[in-house]
Chain A
């Protein structure tokens, strides 16, 4: 069941985001559905799942972006791993922890993307990027992520993966 869900996610998520681009935007800012998915998998199912799904989702996302540097291929699994490692320290995923984690990971992802874009292209103003893309997207990601997490917890009350460190 879990693997079926991953396959469906991998096949549908990025094309859905690419096609529904305009409809998913709030004030011109779009949530990164792949980032949310990878972080939630990291929180709910552990590192290995997050890394594997992150690699495939990142690769799929890179296929449809204008970027030629394959940033998402390594950034998405890294985010999943970070989410999973952070979740090792908690027994129950509280709303505030999950919100803060998603916000922080989205800001981290945005900052890395900004740095990479600055390295490969002409200089971009960081404050403008933070104001226009990084922070609004982080808020959008965090809120959407929390909604999805709550739905997941409602559908599956127990976490798929039990991090041993957190329960000892």
Chain B
């Protein structure tokens, strides 16, 4: 047994030496064996290689992602800050524009006004009113008119020391005297449930038309003459009634009021800065009477 073993080892040694000394030209069978072995061994090698590469790639991605994630977080923070700043600047720009318009108007007006900010709205569903940040301490008193560059807004109904409640002209409980600009017919402007207004008690023979502009008459209340209220959108003629009524669509967007002007003394001068040029076809006699 020991002799056979020794013989086998010896054979292997001889074979190894033979392989080393066999000339290259005659190593064809060996090459074939090598190829066969390589082709078998290459599969697990490739698999192992791809697994190793995969692990490497995952690891490197993880490492890269960690830094990207931090960077992403920082960028998101920056975007949020910039967006906030952009919003703030947009808001500032809008406020500046609104205030500039208000300031221009304030300078143009012939009567004293006080700029105020709308700080709240009516907490119930039953009244159309706003709360402004100016009150008794600023000289605001009941029945003063309130306006914006687009026209009349309402009148002050309650005053506290530092705030006042303004009942809008679109509230049913509000009534101001109005004038159809073209025909110079006078009536009472009241609010409607739709958030529009009605001008009532117009003369039955008045030739008011849809599209006519209604302005404040200045006869009573805290408004000067000629402040725009809105445009007539519908005229109602009832047979049994002695007067005409007309629906007015106000020019002011009452849902977006932010700054307003309180008219401190509407009868300071007789000037009519906002009154547009009257239509020459309007009856002169009636105009004379109203003035």
Q: Would B126 and A67 count as touching, CB distance under 8 A?
A: yes
Q: Could you tell me the dominant secondary structure of chain A's interface residues?
A: helix
In the complex the two chains form, is A32's CB within 8 Å of B120's CB?
no
The answer to whether the Cβ of A64 comes within 8 Å of any Cβ in the partner chain is yes
Count A-B contacts at CB 8 Å.
81
A residues less than 8 Å from B119 (CB atoms): 19
Contact A29 B123 (CB under 8 A): no
For window 19-41 of chain A, which residues contact chain B by CB distance below 8 Å?
19, 21-22, 29-30, 32-34
- Contact indicator B125/A66 (Cβ below 8 Å): no
- Confirm or deny: A9 has a beta carbon within 8 angstroms of a beta carbon on chain B: no
B140 CB to nearest chain A CB (Å) = 15
**What chain A residues lie within 8 Å of B167 (beta carbons)?**
66
Stretch among A81-89, A94-102, A113-121, A143-151 lining the B interface: A113-121
Separation of A21 and B121 alpha carbons in the complex (Å): 6
Alpha-carbon gap, A15 to B133, bound state (A): 13
Measured in the bound complex, the distance between the Cα atoms of B203 and A159 in whole Å is 64
> Is the beta-carbon distance between B123 and A137 smaller than 8 angstroms?
no
Given contact pairs A65-B129, A65-B165, A122-B190, A22 touches B172 in the complex (Cβ within 8 A): no
Within 8 A of A (CB), among B89-148: 119-129, 131
Known A121-B172, A122-B190, A129-B193: A67·B125 in contact at CB below 8 Å: no
B287: Cβ under 8 A from any A Cβ: no
Distance A121 CA – B128 CA, assembled complex (angstroms):
13
Complex contacts, A90 vs chain B, CB 8 Å:
none
Interface residues on chain A, size class: 20 to 34
Contact at A65–B127, with CB atoms within 8 Å?
A: yes
Is the CB–CB distance between B124 and A121 below 8 Å? no
Contact: B121 with A32, CB < 8 Å? no
Determine if B160 is an interface residue (Cβ-Cβ < 8 Å): yes
Which of B120, B126, B173 makes the CB contact (< 8 A) with A15?
A: B120
Kindly list chain B residues whose C-beta atoms are within 8 Å of the C-beta of A117. Answer: 126, 172-173
A–B complex contacts, Cβ < 8 Å, 15 sampled: A15-B120, A21-B120, A21-B122, A65-B124, A66-B122, A66-B171, A66-B173, A67-B127, A67-B173, A68-B158, A72-B124, A117-B126, A124-B172, A125-B193, A128-B193
Interface residues of chain B, those whose CB is within 8 Å of chain A, are 119-129, 131, 157-158, 160, 165-168, 171-173, 190, 193, 255
